[in-house]
Structures are given as structure tokens and as C-alpha cells.
Amino acid sequence: MAWEALKKSINGLINKVNTANIKFIVPELFGENLIRGRGLFCRSIMKAQAASLPFTPIYAAMAAIVNTKLPTVGELLIRRLVMQFRKGYKRNDKAVCLSSTTFLAHLINQQVQHEILAGQILLTLLNKPSDDSVEIAVGFCREVGQYLEEMQASISMVVFDQFRNILHEADIDKRTQYMIEVLFQVRKDKFKDNPAIKEELDLVEEEDQVTHNVELDGQIDVQDGLNVFKFDPDWEEHEEEYKKLKAEILGEGSDDEDDEDDEDESSEEEEEEEETKAMEIKDQTNADLVNLRRTIYLTIMSSADPEEAVHKLMKINLPAGQEPELPSMIVECCSQEKTYTKFFGLIGERFAKINRLWCDLFEKAFTTYYETIHRYENNKLRNIAMLFGHMFAVDALGWHALSVIHLNEDETTSSSRIFIKILFQHIAEETGMPKLKAKLTDDMVRPSLEGLFPRDNPRNIRFSINYFTSIGMGLLTEESREYLQNMPKPALPAPAARDDSDSDSVSSYSSYTGSSRSSRSRSPRRAVDRGRSLSRSTRGDRRSRSYSDSRSRSRSRSRSYSRSATPPRRRGRSPSYSASRPENRSALPARVCLGRPHLVGLGVLHTALTADPDPPSQKTKKFVFCKPGQAWARPQCWLSPG
């Protein structure tokens, strides 16, 4: 039971340590019997560090404090880390090697281990360089580099010479080459972003620290038996001895006085810092920003190729918070060109692939430029779209950045539609339409494209389909077309009640048809005579003057409607006067114009109701040229309703 309680207590204290409470956690840790549980302590802290690498400096600071009072615990921890690295290196386990080297780097910075071990690890990793080994070496060197430069400059020179040889001679990936270039830039900046020990974790005096010298290739005893319970016949005596040791380590009453003195000193320092900050002068003219942009512009324009431009731009010392200016200036320089050149696209690609910071900044720049693209003229718009199109085509930017685009009639402008068109056309040119379609239909990318290929309502879906079809990319809309076809159709609205005029016209039509039929049956020639002599005699070929004039006028008025469908007739030939004339006009039924006149062109358009004995459909509305109350033998053109 005591062993399990000891294990849980040590594990709990290690898991909840952080920068703010490390001063309070360490005394509680010394309250447990670390001599008996040193194996448990090493196993718990190594497991916690491997699970959360960003907390490695905190775990290293805790181990350094424990090492000052219990050197055997610190030495056991280093031995186990070295053995873990050796096993991971032989097994090609990148994750194990990375966690082990990171922990060892911070223990070397805390002077728990001699720096000669850092040189041995780096030379081992770089002896037979591969992409993974060089990446681990670069990360290890960034963590321990500042300490090596100060304590063992000769080791640092040898290591960086080896990096330089690998950069020029070894066959490694472009990404690994960029990492080495970044490492040289970090070294040139004197590791300002990777200090050996942060101020809040510098808790051990140099004269109190005990430094161990464990070699990489030596015989190492990791004492795995300390991880399990073993019966101790002298358990009570050992517990009494540790209580005395704990009293010596923690002291009696001295800690409280020291803490009060430290608090007074820290409060005085904070007051002095606040006074100095109040005296700082801020330049509101943005002169520094203008100078930075000028430097970036001249650096880009003076470079012969993208590799040189990226190398020079990496050397520029960007102030904190001014990092977005670099992607912005690259895009602005590209927009100023008369035509797009791939030079700027390659620069953006290399920066986006160096690390995640630049990739995020370029994605934010894409969002900003898309939202303000209406401010740019056509040439600048084209260059910006082709620059981002290249970066999307080579996967330098994440496709989730396209979620800012909502392709519909309400949320796009003419400029944004042109921008989207050029963007996708350039991506298709570089990748090909099949690869572009495969990328857009990927399950990982699909949620980010809901704005480009909407599914919310049919109106937006049709707009998206028509847009991509009009720019020659209808292949991308196959799923949208299928989705639109399978959408449930909305219910039709209830028909509106017809007004009084419609009912009147129908009733007049019914009364008219009865009378007209009876009149035609009794005297068909009489009805024809009322139509301005439009009929001609069946016995002769004479044609009256009034009929000629009327025919010419009706033909000229109905010329624009000659393509409309004519109702079929069972008797006679086609009613059109353009090709042939009917043989018998006296048998045609008379038609009388009804309804309201509508002025169209030179004639008056009326709604007429046909009374043919055999019409295509009973009571079908037809549209003809006539005057109210006029009767005609046959219209020159029939227009279908609507």
C-alpha cells in the first residue's frame, strides 16, 4: 500500500507542475521518499515529457533542482534518457529519439549533464545523414546551441561545418535543406528565440549544481529493478534516515524569510520596469514600417532567382508583430508586375513550406486580399489570383482557406468572380482538371468548399453550376447537378380565383360560338362579306381591290410572327400566304376579336377566342392582329398563349 501511494503521489506532482507553481511543487516532491522511489520519479517524468514536449524546460528545471540535493536521481535520469535514445536510434523510432534529445538538451542547459554528450549525439546523427536524422539534429541543435556556443565553441564549429557539408553535398529533401538554412539563420541571430534557460526557470545557482558525465557509447546501468516493489527488511530505519535528510533539504523556518525577501525584491523590480515602460517613446509615423517594406521590396527585386530571394529575406530581422508584412509585400510586389511571373509564386511556396508560421500568414493574406479584391484593377487582380493559384496547386496553402469564398449572387461582386475564375483556371493549368476534381471531392477538403459548391438552396446551387460551367469547368459541378436533381421540388401554390373579366369573356365566348356557328351554317358568304371583302369567289380567280389591300396589310403586320405555330386544319391547305393560297376560303369560319387591345409594334394585339368546328383544343386563346369588332377569314399568324 505504501509503494502504491508513493507512486501515485510522485506521478500526481509531476503531472500538475508548471512555470507558476514549480516553486511549490518541488518542496512537496521532496516530502516523498525520492531515494526509495527514484525509479518511479524517472519513469514518471520521462513519460510526462514525451507526452508534452513543450513542457520539457519545466521538467528539466524540476530535475535540476532535485539533482542539487539528490545527485543519484539526476544521474539515473540521464542514464535512462541516453539508453532510450540509443534504442530509438537503432530502431529508427523518430518520436523516441526526438523526445529523448529534447530532454537531454535542456538537462545540458541546466548543467545536469556535461556538454560533451551533446557533441556525441550530434555527430552520431549527422554521420550518416537522412531526412529524419538531420531533422532531429536540427531540433536538438536549436535547443542546446546557445549553451554550446558559450561553453564549447569548438564543438559548435565542428557541428555546423558538418551541417554545411550536408547542405551542399548530401542528397536530402528540400524541406530538410530549408530547416538547415533556418538553423544557420537562428545561429546568426545568436539563438535569441531559443535561450538556454528562461528567466522564470533559472532556479539553481551554478555553485550548487552537480554535473554528471555520462557518455553515449559507455556502459550504462539503468536499474530497471527500481521500478517495481521489493521487500525492504529495514524499511523503518530507511524512512527515519530520509526524514532527517528531508529536514536538511527543506530547512526550518529559513524558507519563509527567503520568500519574503524575494517578494520584496521582485515588487521593487516590477515598479522600476513599469517606470521605464512609461518613459518609452512610441513612433506613430510608421517610419520603421516604411523602412521595413522598402527593405523587403529591394531585397526581392535585387534577387536573381527565388532561392536567392528566400535566403536574403530570411536574414531580415523582422520586429515582433511585423511578420505579416513579409507575405503582404510579396503579394504586392507580384501585383505591380505587368504580367504574372512564377518568380513570386516560388518565393511564396518556399516560405509557406519552411514552417507553419509562414503558411498561416499566407492563408490570412489570402483571406484579406479576397475580401478587398474589388479595390484592385484588372491587371493586379489577375497577378494576385495567379500567385495564390500556384500556391494552392503545389499544396503550399491549406485548401481550408477557400472557406472564405461564398459563391452566390448576393455575396460576390464582379471583381471577386473574376478573381475566382482566374484562381481556378490557374490551378487547373498546373495540376490538371482530373487532379483538381479529385482534390475538391476529397472528404477532408469537402467541408471547406461549402461556400463554393453550396447545398443550402436551389438558387445558390444553380448559380454555382452556371458559374463553373461558364468558365469551362463544368466537370467540377457533377455532384452539384446530381444533388440539385434529387432535391425535393417545392409544392405549387394554390391557383388564384379568376376575376370577373375572365368569366365575362368566357360567357361571351360561349354565346358567340353558338350564334356564329348557326350563322355560318345558314349563310357562310354573308359572314365573309363583313370581313372587308377578305374572301374571294370560289368560281373565279378574280380578286377584289379591297381584298388585295387588306392582304398586303395583314401580311406586313404579321411578318414578325411567322415562326409561331399555326393550328392544324383538316380541310384546305396551310393558311400561310407566303407559299400558297387556300383553294376554298368561303368554308373558313369567321372569327371576331374579343377582349382588351394591347399595343404591340404597329398593330393592336387582341385576345381572340376561336370558334373553329375542329380546333386543336376547345376554347384556346389565340393572339392575332386586328381591331375591336373586326372579323377575318384567316389570320396570318397565330401566337401561342404566353
Reported as a single tens digit per residue, the pLDDT across 170-204 is 778 888 889 999 999 989 888 888 888 888 888 88
Q: Is the alpha carbon torsion for 464, 469, 472, 473 positive or negative?
A: positive
Which range, 29-33, 207-211, 372-376, 569-573, has the best average confidence (pLDDT)? 372-376
- Amino acid at site 150: E
What's the pLDDT score for residue 350? 92
Judged against a pLDDT cut of 50, whether residue 70 lies above it is answered with: yes
Asked if residue 293 and residue 440 are part of one domain, the reply reads yes
Judged against a pLDDT cut of 90, whether residue 268 lies above it is answered with: no
Percentage of the chain exceeding pLDDT 70: 69
What's the pLDDT score for residue 232? 63
Site of grid cell 495540376: 431
Asked if residue 213 and residue 323 are part of one domain, the reply reads no
What's the pLDDT score for residue 556? 39
SS (H, E, C) 504-534: HHHHHHHHHHHHHHHHHHHCHHHHHHCCCCC
Domain end call among 486, 513, 533: 486
255 confidence band (pLDDT: 50, 70, 90): very low
Domain end call among 486, 517, 541: 486
Cβ within 8 Å of residue 566, ≥6 positions away: 574, 575, 576, 637, 638
Task: Please state, in angstroms and rounded to a whole number, the distance separating the CA atoms of residues 20 and 31.
Answer: 20
What mean pLDDT do residues 94-123 have?
Answer: 91
What's the pLDDT score for residue 622? 44
Task: Give domain status of residue 281, yes or no.
Answer: no
C-beta atoms surrounding 273 within 10 Å:
10
What mean pLDDT do residues 341-356 have?
Answer: 91
Q: What's the mean pLDDT when you consider all of the chain? A: 76
Asked if residue 320 and residue 437 are part of one domain, the reply reads yes
Domain that holds residue 81: 2-237
Judged against a pLDDT cut of 90, whether residue 368 lies above it is answered with: yes
Judged against a pLDDT cut of 90, whether residue 373 lies above it is answered with: yes
Which range, 18-27, 95-104, 151-160, has the best average confidence (pLDDT)? 95-104
Asked if residue 300 and residue 219 are part of one domain, the reply reads no
Is the model more confident about 246 or about 144? Answer: 144
Question: Contact at 8 Å (CB) between 381 and 419?
Answer: yes
Task: Please state, in angstroms and rounded to a whole number, the distance separating the CA atoms of residues 421 and 334.
Answer: 18
What mean pLDDT do residues 224-228 have?
Answer: 73
List the Cα angle 39/44/46 in 5-degree steps.
95
Asked if residue 308 and residue 231 are part of one domain, the reply reads no
Tens of pLDDT, residues 508-567: 334 434 443 333 333 434 433 444 433 343 334 444 344 444 344 434 343 433 343 444
Task: Give domain status of residue 251, yes or no.
Answer: no
Asked if residue 322 and residue 224 are part of one domain, the reply reads no
Judged against a pLDDT cut of 80, whether residue 69 lies above it is answered with: yes
Judged against a pLDDT cut of 80, whether residue 377 lies above it is answered with: yes
Cα dist. 83→217, 220, 366, 443, 576 in Å?
A: 10, 7, 47, 42, 103
Task: Give domain status of residue 529, yes or no.
Answer: no
Task: Give domain status of residue 35, yes or no.
Answer: yes
Say which range, 49-58, 265-274, 373-382, has the weakest mean pLDDT: 265-274
Domain end call among 207, 237, 267: 237
What's the pLDDT score for residue 505? 41
Say which range, 152-161, 457-466, 604-613, has the weakest mean pLDDT: 604-613
Task: Give domain status of residue 266, yes or no.
Answer: no
Tens of pLDDT, residues 71-103: 999 999 999 999 999 999 999 899 999 999 999
Q: What is the CATH number of the domain that holds 31?
A: 1.25.40.180
What's the pLDDT score for residue 265? 54
Q: Sheet harboring 631-632: ordered strands across?
A: 621-625, 603-609, 591-600, 631-632
Tens of pLDDT, residues 474-513: 999 998 999 888 888 766 565 654 544 444 443 433 443 4
Tens of pLDDT, residues 594-639: 444 444 433 344 444 444 444 444 444 444 444 444 444 444 444 4
DSSP string, 308-328: HHHHHHHHS-PPTT-TTHHHH
Say which range, 235-239, 374-378, 627-631, has the weakest mean pLDDT: 627-631
Asked if residue 195 and residue 96 are part of one domain, the reply reads yes
Judged against a pLDDT cut of 60, whether residue 275 lies above it is answered with: no
The structural domain count of the chain equals 3
589 φ, ψ (degrees, to nearest 5): -75, 150
Judged against a pLDDT cut of 70, whether residue 586 lies above it is answered with: no
What's the pLDDT score for residue 349? 92
What's the pLDDT score for residue 355? 85
Is the model more confident about 170 or about 447? Answer: 447
Tens of pLDDT, residues 288-344: 888 888 999 999 999 889 999 999 998 888 888 889 999 999 999 999 999 999 999
Judged against a pLDDT cut of 70, whether residue 420 lies above it is answered with: yes
Task: Give domain status of residue 535, yes or no.
Answer: no
Task: Give domain status of residue 450, yes or no.
Answer: yes
What's the pLDDT score for residue 623? 44
Q: Of 106, 110, 74, 104, which is closest to residue 86 (Cα–Cα)?
A: 104
Asked if residue 106 and residue 179 are part of one domain, the reply reads yes
Asked if residue 196 and residue 109 are part of one domain, the reply reads yes
Q: What is the CATH number of the domain that holds 296?
A: 1.25.40
Task: Please state, in angstroms and rounded to a whole number, the distance separating the CA atoms of residues 498 and 503.
Answer: 7
Bridge partners (DSSP) listed for residue 239: none
Asked if residue 427 and residue 294 are part of one domain, the reply reads yes
Task: Give domain status of residue 119, yes or no.
Answer: yes
- As a whole number of Å, the end-to-end CA separation of the chain is 94
Q: Of 270, 265, 322, 255, which is closest to residue 293 (Cα–Cα)?
A: 322
What mean pLDDT do residues 106-130 have?
Answer: 90
Asked if residue 596 and residue 476 are part of one domain, the reply reads no
Task: Please state, in angstroms and rounded to a whole number, the distance separating the CA atoms of residues 191 and 183.
Answer: 9
What mean pLDDT do residues 358-374 have?
Answer: 93
Judged against a pLDDT cut of 50, whether residue 585 lies above it is answered with: no
Asked if residue 298 and residue 205 are part of one domain, the reply reads no
